[in-house]
Structure 1
């Protein structure tokens, strides 16, 4: 459910950016792209939540609703869903279309793509089961064939040039690159589906469900981690024959052609399109179901049509623009999501006391807003007002230059919240004894 368009392109791009420091960068990427999504599932299991809204509700119902809307908008029509069309187009078709016709090519491809997504999602066609159970594994097999050929006959050494940002901060930048997979947010959105599936196996007790989630999740993340490491290594070695690309989609297409030729191009284009189609259907259905549940006066199909149409419009901005504008949003949402996940896992320690949630989230939000501003595209960031805000943050917020301005604030909020909780608990206990 979590392995979609971004999981293919961002590891390859990371490898190209990190060069010979690819291994250190990959360790950061694996934490944010693999470990934290697993922790998200555990948080939903431990707190017995039915999804994002329930998990965030201790902070406040209004906050929980806003957070739910922001995450679904990010996973839905603003960023992740449009990406499901632009990634297969970039990987499978863009290289075969003249540059002056790529705009119209993307327009036609995305229109057909989201037309199919809407039709299959509205009719709940069972073809999705066929696609998910047969073609997705075929796609993974194709990836492993490329990996095998790459190990037997590498494009070159992984000891390649390092971009400026990865000379000294490979780990932290690799961690931040993992945000682009959006898997922490997706795990929060899809988590209840996973938990329900585990309960369907006959595992009912909360503790046993959490243990089963951890065990099965650990096996799953090992597989995903292996794919990521191979893709990152491929990206690093590809610099021996190809230039640094603006996104991992172009690089992956070049690598596939290098090893599999024209047949590989056709196979990659077909399988990437189909697998991204299933990802898109999962995203639009989850969006429509959740929003219809929260706003029942608007029908499921209307939410579905709205999502598909807006995703089609935004897809035609192109992959590079989608990535550029999604980054500041992810820099805001990810610290809030990570802190919420950690609070959910630790909740038995403080009996799910809302004060711990509220203090931690409030202090996390402040630097996260500064991180968002610092990550905006240059056309906004270079304005005098934005520069003044960034300069203030650089001066007064620890680790801000690394993109981790939220970390110390979040820890401080957790400590303060726990102190308040235990002081209150102690006073309540004394009152009862008296």
Structure 2
């Protein structure tokens, strides 16, 4: 594939991942990390960028997103994909993008509530761009993303050249375990589950540029992933540094969005709010376009549902749900996201070690069940729905429960055991084949 196409798809990938949450989360993390900025960000990048990058590389090796669940029984595989695309599509991620784009991009400039009008305009723009399937790389990768990168670069340059102050004093968590805290926060971005959804778009974009062979798709995916990882890492580092040097304007700020708004106002003055509004709206739009395409691509490939019909249903549901408000969206949909994320990561980790064939069906089912059950416990803990007595017991006896990753070690052990059993089975079959041939 031509280098210019590789870069364009890489830029498109970066833009699809860069939602509002990815922009407003790092500043608050930077504020809490302060002088422990470097170790905290090292941990953060491992999980916030490393896990999604690993997921994309696995898809590139499989050369088809559907291969990830090929070893599972078909009903279980379909259930996983439908739940995933519902959660990262119209039930959670897309309505959240609409509401955040309005809250940070429009609401500061208007006096009355115009969420409904804005959501109609926003989802209409999403649908128009989503219909440009063959030109998605051109529109997002070659036009929208460079503009987004330029706006973010302006913010980053200002942060490093004229910081508002010295690095802040780290909170207790970052004083004692900066790397571990960064790892946990990076995992909580949930970008790994977004990578599973975006895999459908990225592999199709590579194929549309004339790259059909498995080896060619894998090489192209590696290059695309490198572009995404470099840009996303630079973005996270810059935004976290903004937060780390913003202590002078941070008093009373309850989230990264509020902190970023104050910082931009202090550095750029009144025009800064327009810059931030442009960044947020552009980031949210590229994310909703990518998710719309991912949902429609899956339903078209799996159920032969017409792309246009599925995309239209997705954006209509997104617009309707967005008007219920962000708090209601989080209350209803967040548990599903928190449970699906461990399952998605577990499947990716398994695909790294075990071929996605029916021969390994039992292993894949076991991994899904382990991650589902323990990931469910983690989700209930995050949502404060477990009795404190049970939480105390789990913290004492379950490794990584405090890090909301109690599923991780059991899944790794299950994969290792499956690999050993698979190797022994192959060796045994080889022995019998040799014995049969000798007879």
Same-fold call, TM > 0.5?
yes
How do 1:39-58 and structure 2 match up within 5 A? 39-48=54-63, 50-51=64-65, 53-58=66-71
* Residues paired across the two proteins, number: 420
Paired residue for 2:157?
Answer: 148
Task: Report the Cα offset of residue 320 of structure 1.
Answer: 5.5
Which residue among 186, 189, 197 is the counterpart of 1:189? 197
Contact 1:83 1:322 in 2 (8 A): yes
Distance 2:170 2:328 in 1: 26
Task: Report the Cα offset of residue 413 of structure 1.
Answer: 0.7
Paired residue for 2:275?
Answer: 267
- 2:260 corresponds to 1:252: yes
- 2:113 corresponds to 1:112: no
State the SS of the aligned residue for 1:258.
helix
Which residue among 234, 241, 249 is the counterpart of 1:233? 241
Which residue among 64, 76, 94 is the counterpart of 1:63? 76
Contact 1:84 1:280 in 2 (8 A): yes
- 2:22 corresponds to 1:12: no
Which residue among 63, 71, 94 is the counterpart of 2:107? 94
Deviation readout 1:287-309 (Å, 9 max, x if unpaired): 1332244344x654443343223
Structure 1 residues 171 and 150, CA gap change in structure 2 (3 angstroms):
same
Which residue among 226, 239, 257 is the counterpart of 1:218? 226
Unaligned 5+ residue runs, structure 2? 1-12
Paired residue for 2:3?
Answer: none
Structure 1 residues 148 and 123, CA gap change in structure 2 (3 angstroms):
closer
Paired residue for 1:412?
Answer: 413
Paired residue for 1:394?
Answer: 395
Structure 1 residues 141 and 120, CA gap change in structure 2 (3 angstroms):
closer
Task: Report the Cα offset of residue 322 of structure 1.
Answer: 4.5
TM-score by length of 1: 0.84
Contact 1:327 1:375 in 2 (8 A): no
Which residue among 294, 299, 304 is the counterpart of 1:291? 299
Unaligned 5+ residue runs, structure 1? none
Contact 2:92 2:334 in 1 (8 A): no
Structure 1 residues 213 and 132, CA gap change in structure 2 (3 angstroms):
closer
How do 1:364-403 and structure 2 match up within 5 A? 364-376=371-383, 378=384, 381=385, 386-387=387-388, 390-403=391-404
Distance 2:180 2:331 in 1: 19
Distance 2:300 2:390 in 1: 38
Deviation readout 1:301-335 (Å, 9 max, x if unpaired): 44334322332243335445645665543432222
Distance 2:389 2:314 in 1: 36
Higher deviation after alignment, 73-82 or 311-320: 311-320
Distance 1:45 1:337 in 2: 16
Contact 2:69 2:356 in 1 (8 A): no
Paired residue for 2:4?
Answer: none
Computed over aligned residues only, the root mean square deviation of the Cα atoms, in angstroms, reads 3.2
Deviation readout 1:196-254 (Å, 9 max, x if unpaired): 44456665553454344324422431222111111111122222212353332222222
Structure 1 residues 118 and 46, CA gap change in structure 2 (3 angstroms):
closer
Task: Report the Cα offset of residue 141 of structure 1.
Answer: 1.0
Which residue among 230, 234, 242 is the counterpart of 2:250? 242
Structure 1 residues 274 and 418, CA gap change in structure 2 (3 angstroms):
closer
Contact 1:13 1:247 in 2 (8 A): yes
Deviation readout 1:329-364 (Å, 9 max, x if unpaired): 343222222222122222359997334323333333
State the SS of the aligned residue for 1:77.
coil
State the SS of the aligned residue for 1:158.
coil
Which residue among 35, 46, 56 is the counterpart of 1:31? 46
Deviation readout 1:106-145 (Å, 9 max, x if unpaired): 3432233224334554587979944653343122112111
Structure 1 residues 64 and 283, CA gap change in structure 2 (3 angstroms):
same
Task: Report the Cα offset of residue 185 of structure 1.
Answer: 2.2
Structure 1 residues 405 and 69, CA gap change in structure 2 (3 angstroms):
same
State the SS of the aligned residue for 1:245.
coil
